[in-house]
Amino acid sequence: MVCFRLAPVPGSGLILLCLVLGAVSSYALELNLTDSEKATCLYAKWQMNITIRYETTDKHNKTVTISDFGAATYNGSSCGDDQNGPKIAVQFGSGFSWIVNFTKMIISAYSVDTISFSYNTNDNTTFPDAEEKGVFTVFDPVALRIPLNNIFRCSSLSTLEKSNVVQHYWDVHVQAFVQNGTVSTKELLCDKDKTLTTVKPIIPTTGPSPTTKPSPKEKPKIGSYSVVNSNGTCLLATMGLQLNITHDKVASVININPNQTEYTGSCHPQTALLSLSSTTIKYLDFVFAVKNENRFYLKEVNVSMYLFNGTVFSIANNNLSYWDAPLGSSYMCNKEQTVSVSGLFQINTFDLRVQPFNVMEGKYSTAQECSLDDDTILIPIIVGAGLSGLIIVIVIAYLIGRRKSYAGYQTL
Ligand SMILES: *[C@@H]1O[C@H](CO)[C@@H](O)[C@H](O)[C@H]1NC(C)=O
Ligand SMILES: *[C@@H]1O[C@H](CO)[C@@H](O)[C@H](O)[C@H]1NC(C)=O
Ligand SMILES: *[C@@H]1O[C@H](CO)[C@@H](O)[C@H](O)[C@H]1NC(C)=O
Ligand SMILES: *[C@@H]1O[C@H](CO)[C@@H](O)[C@H](O)[C@H]1NC(C)=O
Ligand SMILES: *[C@@H]1O[C@H](CO)[C@@H](O)[C@H](O)[C@H]1NC(C)=O
Ligand SMILES: *[C@@H]1O[C@H](CO)[C@@H](O)[C@H](O)[C@H]1NC(C)=O
Ligand SMILES: *[C@@H]1O[C@H](CO)[C@@H](O)[C@H](O)[C@H]1NC(C)=O
Ligand SMILES: *[C@@H]1O[C@H](CO)[C@@H](O)[C@H](O)[C@H]1NC(C)=O
Ligand SMILES: *[C@@H]1O[C@H](CO)[C@@H](O)[C@H](O)[C@H]1NC(C)=O
């Protein structure tokens, strides 16, 4: 919305017209970027103002605030390609440049990388009496992680402050890597907006909130892991892994892509370790141990992950008892199984097979299957039931036959 200064007395007419328009004297910036097929690839709408402090020739500090973006251009904004991530580039005023870039992360998320802002103090209208003339650039690392196919929304005020520049943002909507040309209806709310809604709940909390509803998720890809020591392969694992992290009462389900995961491990007589990592997983450790000298089991999981909002989520539990099998065999479970590390962190496994000890010639030994897989146990029961039924029939038939023949004998 634009406020025109109509009255000769500065301020009065301005205020009046703005009230008539019912708007604040600020512009929403908006960009709907499309790819070569005219499909939306990046969408952003936001409000901002930027305050720059500079030193004058008479050694005073002056501040100037840029809040008029009416003539902003978006030259240089791009959907991104194989080499470069998407970016929003905005030019306004006399030589101001504002750029934000995005990165696609592994495991279905993208991040708002850095906001860079440049200003040119050679412009005497905006920066009168500036002591130092030239182009200055400030970089603000944002490192905000947003799930793919989600729009980030933040009505609340966010402030970035770096050297002589203070940037205020509000009413922010942004989605990069827009899928199928349609801006998502799923949104990641900033923490400040969340507290706004929790402080003033509009809908009474009956039943689970829609955000906690687990989204239907495809099965993770199966990864194969083998740890080698001086004696050759000492640990084998094949599994699809799905992490379920509950953070701020919202469960996020993340599939591990084995192609984008590194791993390492170690083998000892009583313990063995498999440790996975990726750009978002600092480490995910599986520690196996021997018990009663003849069985192994998963004893410990120790995880540390970077979360969407830049914080680190860490949890460890060294008192687990999963994947229990005799030494010299492997443990196998094809069905989905859950390793509950804590109330906030679970691992769903798919097509699992592990052997952390006594691996011979790099191959799995005979498998002990999890009870979930034991469909086979039903067959002996059915066969057994059938057999015992048959036996009962035979016995009854025999008894009846005996009685008949006895009776028959009597008549004789
Ligand atoms: C910049 O925006 C913030 C947040 O809306 C507001 O509090 C502040 O007064 C604005 N500054 C100027 C100079 O307009
Ligand atoms: C101007 O700001 C700088 C920090 O950027 C500060 O060191 C300096 O003391 C300030 N000067 C005056 C006159 O306030
Ligand atoms: C956009 O940038 C390109 C290359 O930097 C330049 O050739 C073109 O004139 C610019 N267009 C506008 C409208 O500023
Ligand atoms: C984003 O921009 C910043 C500053 O220009 C740069 O350091 C960073 O490498 C860029 N990130 C990506 C992923 O291009
Ligand atoms: C995009 O389109 C494909 C194919 O029509 C579909 O499988 C996929 O679910 C769509 N993705 C979204 C986020 O709508
Ligand atoms: C993730 O964990 C939450 C909380 O424990 C649970 O309600 C949800 O069903 C789990 N989702 C999956 C896919 O495991
Ligand atoms: C992952 O690796 C397998 C085997 O090397 C390959 O067939 C597959 O195409 C890869 N997938 C991705 C998404 O890179
Ligand atoms: C991320 O979320 C956690 C939990 O709500 C919160 O404690 C932390 O302050 C947030 N970090 C940022 C950078 O917003
Ligand atoms: C988890 O791993 C970290 C880093 O390797 C370590 O400092 C910490 O002690 C481990 N926690 C447990 C319970 O083993």
Domains of the chain by range and CATH?
2-196 (2.40.160.110), 222-369 (2.40.160.110)
Q: Answer yes or no: is the C-beta of 65 below 6 A from any ligand 8 atom.
A: no
Quickly count: other Cβ atoms within 10 Å of residue 240's Cβ: 18
Mutation test residue for ligand 6: of 346, 347, 348, 349, the one with most atoms within 8 Å of CB: 346
Tell me 406's DSSP state. H
Q: Where are the beta strands (DSSP E) in 230-373?
A: 232-247, 250-255, 262-267, 271-277, 281-291, 295-306, 312-317, 322-326, 330-333, 337-342, 345-355, 367-369
Q: Give me the pLDDT at residue 77, please.
A: 96
Question: Between residues 41 and 190, which one has the greater pLDDT?
Answer: 41
**Distance, CA of 264 to CA of 226 (rounded, Å):** 9
Q: Answer yes or no: is the C-beta of 179 below 6 A from any ligand 5 atom.
A: yes
* Portion of the chain with pLDDT greater than 70, in percent: 77
Residue 107 has pLDDT above 60, yes or no: no
Residue 205 has pLDDT above 80, yes or no: no
Quickly count: other Cβ atoms within 10 Å of residue 269's Cβ: 7
Reported as a pLDDT band with limits 50, 70 and 90, residue 401 is: low
C-alpha to C-alpha distances, 45 to 109, 115, 181, 305, 308, nearest whole angstrom: 20, 15, 16, 30, 21
Mean pLDDT of 340-366: 96
Residue 38 has pLDDT above 50, yes or no: yes
Mean pLDDT of 206-218: 44
Reported as a pLDDT band with limits 50, 70 and 90, residue 21 is: very low
> With contact defined as beta carbons under 8 Å apart, do 69 and 29 qualify?
yes
Q: Give me the pLDDT at residue 6, please.
A: 37
**Nearest Cα to Cα of residue 278 among 238, 300, 306:** 306
- Which amino acid, 256? I
**Nearest Cα to Cα of residue 245 among 254, 236, 256:** 254
Q: Which atom of ligand 6 is nearest to the CA of 212?
A: 7
C-alpha to C-alpha distances, 396 to 405, 406, 408, nearest whole angstrom: 14, 15, 18
DSSP percent split of the chain into helix, strand, coil, nearest 5: 15, 50, 35
Mean pLDDT of 383-411: 53
Q: Give me the pLDDT at residue 298, please.
A: 98
Question: Between residues 145 and 243, which one has the greater pLDDT?
Answer: 243
In this structure, what are the phi and psi dihedrals at residue 401, rounded to the nearest 5 degrees? -60, -40
Residue 269 has pLDDT above 70, yes or no: yes
Mutation test residue for ligand 9: of 301, 302, 342, the one with most atoms within 8 Å of CB: 302
Tell me 400's DSSP state. H
Say which ligand is closest to the CA of 261.
7
Say whether 86 sits in a helix, a strand or coil: coil
β-pair partners for 284: 276, 303
* Centre of ligand 9 from the C-alpha of residue 368, in Å: 30
**Nearest Cα to Cα of residue 112 among 173, 196, 171, 67:** 173
Say which ligand is closest to the CA of 145.
8
Say which ligand is closest to the CA of 58.
2
Residue 197 has pLDDT above 80, yes or no: no
- The most distant pair of C-alpha atoms in the chain lies apart, rounded to whole Å, by 141
Question: Between residues 262 and 324, which one has the greater pLDDT?
Answer: 324
Mean pLDDT of the chain: 81
Pairing of strands 187-189, 151-154: parallel
Question: Between residues 26 and 409, which one has the greater pLDDT?
Answer: 26
Mutation test residue for ligand 6: of 209, 244, 315, the one with most atoms within 8 Å of CB: 244
Q: Which atom of ligand 3 is nearest to the CA of 75?
A: 1
User: Cα 52 vs. chain centroid, distance in angstroms?
Assistant: 35
Q: Give me the pLDDT at residue 264, please.
A: 86
* Centre of ligand 8 from the C-alpha of residue 308, in Å: 9
**Nearest Cα to Cα of residue 192 among 224, 225, 152:** 152
Q: Answer yes or no: is the C-beta of 195 below 6 A from any ligand 8 atom.
A: no
Closest C-alpha to ligand 3, atom 2: 75
> With contact defined as beta carbons under 8 Å apart, do 6 and 13 qualify?
yes
Residue with tokens 């860079």: 116
Closest C-alpha to ligand 5, atom 10: 180
Which of 193-197, 224-228, 272-276, 283-287 has the weakest average pLDDT?
193-197
* Centre of ligand 6 from the C-alpha of residue 253, in Å: 8
Q: Which two tokens stand for residue 189?
A: 């709310």
Quickly count: other Cβ atoms within 10 Å of residue 293's Cβ: 7
Residue with tokens 């016995």: 395
**Distance, CA of 79 to CA of 40 (rounded, Å):** 9
* Centre of ligand 3 from the C-alpha of residue 76, in Å: 8
Closest C-alpha to ligand 2, atom 1: 61
User: Cα 236 vs. chain centroid, distance in angstroms?
Assistant: 27
Q: Give me the pLDDT at residue 220, please.
A: 94
Say whether 205 sits in a helix, a strand or coil: coil
Residue 260 has pLDDT above 60, yes or no: yes
Q: Answer yes or no: is the C-beta of 111 below 6 A from any ligand 4 atom.
A: no
Residue 10 has pLDDT above 60, yes or no: no
The full DSSP string for 102-150 is: EEEETTTEEEEEEEEEEEETT-TTTSTTBSS-SEEEEEEEEEEEEETT-
Q: Answer yes or no: is the C-beta of 277 below 6 A from any ligand 9 atom.
A: no
Q: Give me the pLDDT at residue 194, please.
A: 74
Mean pLDDT of 53-59: 92
Mean pLDDT of 283-305: 95
pTM, rounded to two decimals: 0.50
